[in-house]
Structure 1
Amino acid sequence: MGSLVGREPQLGRDRLVAELVPSPRFADVSFASYEPSPDEPSQAAAVTELEAHAERVRDAQASRGQKEGGLRRLLRGRPTTPQGAPGVYLDGGFGVGKTHLLAATWHAVPGPKAFGTFVEYTNLVGALGFAEAVRALSPMTLVAIDEFELDDPGDTVLMARLLRELVDAGVRLAATSNTLPGSLGEGRFAADDFLREIQAVGSNFDVVRIEGEDYRHRGLPDPPPPLPDDELEARARAVGDGAVLDDVDALIDHLARVHPSRYGALLDGVTHVFWRGLRPLADQNVALRTVVLADRMYDRSIPLAVSGASLADLFTPEMLAGGYRKKYSRALSRLTSLARDGA
C-alpha cells in the first residue's frame, strides 16, 4: 500500500505528446460498439455525422499527403478537398456517450493523431510553451478535444490561437462539450469582452447535438456512504501494492505542487484509490485540481473509496450553482461511478 503524496513524476515532451490517446476505458471503442438509445434519435444521428466527419478527415489526410491529387480526384470521382468546417463539435449532457463517439472518430482515422481533454491540451501548452505545443500538434491528422470548456479569459485567447494555428496547418478537429460554442465562458467571466475569440473558436466547428440521460445514473443509487476510517484502512491493506491511501488535506497540498499535466503519471501503477477524511472543498482552485485528478482516475477506471464526508457533498452548493457547475457535476458523476466500483 502506498500514497500519492510524495510522488513527483517528471514528464518530457515525447511522453506528454505520446499520452494524448484515448484512455484504457475507450481504447477499443468504435462506432459499431456505441449503442444509441431507441428513445433518443439524436444519438443515432450523431453516429452518422461523426462517421461522415471521419471520412472527411481521411480525405483531408490523403490530400495533405499525396501530390497526385488531380489523378486521385479523377479516379474517385469527388474532390479531395473536404467540405464543411474543419471540425465537428458534439454538444450534449453528461453520460450520453460523447467521449465514446469522440474516441471512435479518433480510432477511425489515420495517424499521427491526438486525443485529450481540454484541460490536457491547456496543460500541454503550459508545460511545453505555446510554440512548442503548436509544433508538436501541427503534424496531426486529427486533434480530438474532450470536454471543451473555457474556464477563464486566458484559456479563451489561448485556445482560439491554438486552433487557428492548427487549422492553418491542415489539422482537422473534433470536440465534445456540454456547452454550445457561442455560450463558452458564460457565467465565468465577462464573455462579451472576448466575443471575437469565442466566435473564432465556434467558427472552426459544425455543431452536432446529442440528447439523453446519464448512463452512469440509469436506475442506480447515490454514491455509497463513506466508510469508517478503520474499515477504509483495512480495505486498502487488503488490496496491497496497487492501493494508495491518502489523507485528503495532505493530498490537496500535494496536488498544488504537481503540475496538472502530470496527474496521469501520478497514478502510474495504481489500481485502487482511498481518500481518508473527505470534506467539502470550499476553495475553487482546490476543487478544479480535484476535477482534473478525478478525470484521470476515471480514464483509468480506478475504483475509489472514502471516509469522512459523502462524495455527494464534495463540492459546495455555491460551486454547483456557479460558473464551473458543469465541470463539477461531471466530476461528481464520474467519482460516483468509481465509488460504486469500489463498493
Structure 2
Amino acid sequence: MPAPSLVERDPQVAPDELVGAMVPPPHFDAVRFDTYAPNPDEPSQAEAVAACAEFAGRIGAGGERKGWLGSLFGKRDSGPAPGLYLDGGFGVGKTHLLASLWHAVPGPKAFGTFVEVTNLVGALGFVETVRRLGGHRLLAIDEFELDDPGDTMLVGRLIKELTEAGVAVAATSNTLPDKLGEGRFAAADFLREIQKLAARFEVVRVDGPDYRHRGLPDAPDPMGDDELVARAEATPGSTLDDFGALCAKLAKVHPSRYGRLLDGVTAVHLKGVHAAPDQSVALRLVALGDRLYDRDIPVAVSGQPLSELFTEEMLTGGYRKKYLRAVSRLVALSR
C-alpha cells in the first residue's frame, strides 16, 4: 500500500486551542536542570544551568511579580532583570534549559516558539492575547527572532504589556538581543525598539560545540528512489512526499501549524531533495525541521543530502545561524 503524504493533510488549529497548546514539545517533555550534562570544557554551560535555576526560583517564590519584574520598557529600580536571555550557538542545549526552566516554574505558564507567539496574536488579537497570558507567571519564547520591522514592534509591545502585568519572560536565540534583525532589514531604523528589549534582559551565554554531532558519524548518503519508497511503505505511520510538492504545500500552511501537520507521523520520507530555490522556501524548511526535531521524527531522503538544503549564498547571509541549526537537527534525525 502506498505511504500517505504530508501534502494531502490539512492541519487546523482552533484559536481556543492555541494557548493550551503552548507547552514544550515532546522532545523536551522529560528534560530538567539535572538532566542537562554541562560540557566540562565549557564552564558557561554549568553557569547557565545555575542562572536558569535561580531565575526559576525567583518566579516560583511568588508574591513578588509586580515588584521584581517592574516594567520591561519603563524605568525600574536596580535589581534582577525581568527577562532571561540564553544566547549561544546551535546544539548547546539552550532549548533544553528553557524547557527545564518552564518545568521548574509553577503554572500558569506558556512555552512557544517565536512564530507561535506571533501567530497567537494574529489569531486572538493583541488585547485578547494579553488578557490570556497576562495572568501567567512565565512566558518562554524559543528561537527568538526579529525578522522584520512589524515583528519588532509587535513583540516589543507584547512583552511590555505582559511584564507590566508581572509576567516573567525567558527566551533563547542564536543572536544577542541588541543584534536581532542585523543583516535582515534596516535594523538601524528600529534600533531604539531593539535596545528597549535588550536593556531589560539578563543575557546568559551558553558556549560549546554542537552536542548533536560530538563523535557521531556523518549523515547517511541519500537513498535511491526505489529504496526510499519501499522503506516508507514498510514503515507504519510514515509519510512519503516529493520534495518539491512538499515545499509548495508549506507555502500554503502557516508555520504555526507545521506541528499539527506532523501529528501521528512516525517517519518522514522525502523524494528528490534539492537545495531550496529561495529564502522563503528555505525559512519554511527551517520551521519544518524544528517541528520534526521537536517530535523526534526520523527523516530519510533521496536526491541531495540534507546538508545541502541551503546554498552557500544563504549560509553567508543574515539567516546563516538558522540554516546551520536546521542542518544540524535534520542530519541528526537522518541518522
Normalised to the residue count of structure 2, the TM-score between the two structures is 0.93
Query: Secondary structure of 2:216's match?
Result: coil
Structure 1, residues 301-343: CA drift from partner, whole Å, max 9, x if none?
A: 0000011111111011111111111111111111011111xxx
Partner of 2:22: 20
How far did 1:225 drift? Answer: 1.1
Match of 2:315 among 310, 320, 331: 320
Supply the distance in 2 between the matched residues of 1:187 and 1:239 (Cα, whole angstroms). 43
Structure 1, residues 73-130: CA drift from partner, whole Å, max 9, x if none?
A: xxxxxxxx99411111111111111111111110111101011111221222233332
Supply the distance in 2 between the matched residues of 1:295 and 1:273 (Cα, whole angstroms). 13
Partner of 1:62: 63
Residues 85 and 201 in structure 2, CA contact (< 8 A), matched pair in contact too: yes
Residues 56 and 82 in structure 1, CA contact (< 8 A), matched pair in contact too: no
Letter in 1 for 2:240: L
Partner of 1:260: 255
Query: Secondary structure of 1:174's match?
Result: strand
Supply the distance in 2 between the matched residues of 1:304 and 1:155 (Cα, whole angstroms). 31
Partner of 2:246: 251
Match of 1:170 among 163, 166, 190: 166
Letter in 2 for 1:201: L
Supply the distance in 2 between the matched residues of 1:25 and 1:191 (Cα, whole angstroms). 34
Q: Unmatched 5+ residue regions in structure 2? A: 68-76
Supply the distance in 1 between the matched residues of 2:51 and 2:105 (Cα, whole angstroms). 15
Supply the distance in 2 between the matched residues of 1:18 and 1:226 (Cα, whole angstroms). 39
Match of 1:29 among 27, 31, 34: 31
Alignment partner of 1:289 is 2:299 = no
Query: Secondary structure of 1:32's match?
Result: helix
Structural RMSD (CA): 1.7
Residues 65 and 167 in structure 2, CA contact (< 8 A), matched pair in contact too: no
Q: Unmatched 5+ residue regions in structure 1? A: 70-80
Runs of 4+ off more than 6 Å: none
Aligned residues: 324
Residues 246 and 276 in structure 1, CA contact (< 8 A), matched pair in contact too: yes
Normalised to the residue count of structure 1, the TM-score between the two structures is 0.91
Residues 127 and 261 in structure 1, CA contact (< 8 A), matched pair in contact too: no
How far did 1:152 drift? Answer: 1.3
How far did 1:64 drift? Answer: 4.9
Alignment partner of 1:216 is 2:212 = yes
Query: Secondary structure of 1:226's match?
Result: coil
Query: Secondary structure of 1:48's match?
Result: helix
How far did 1:147 drift? Answer: 1.6
How far did 1:199 drift? Answer: 0.8
Alignment partner of 1:180 is 2:181 = no
Letter in 2 for 1:287: A
Supply the distance in 1 between the matched residues of 2:121 and 2:222 (Cα, whole angstroms). 37
Q: Percent identity?
A: 64
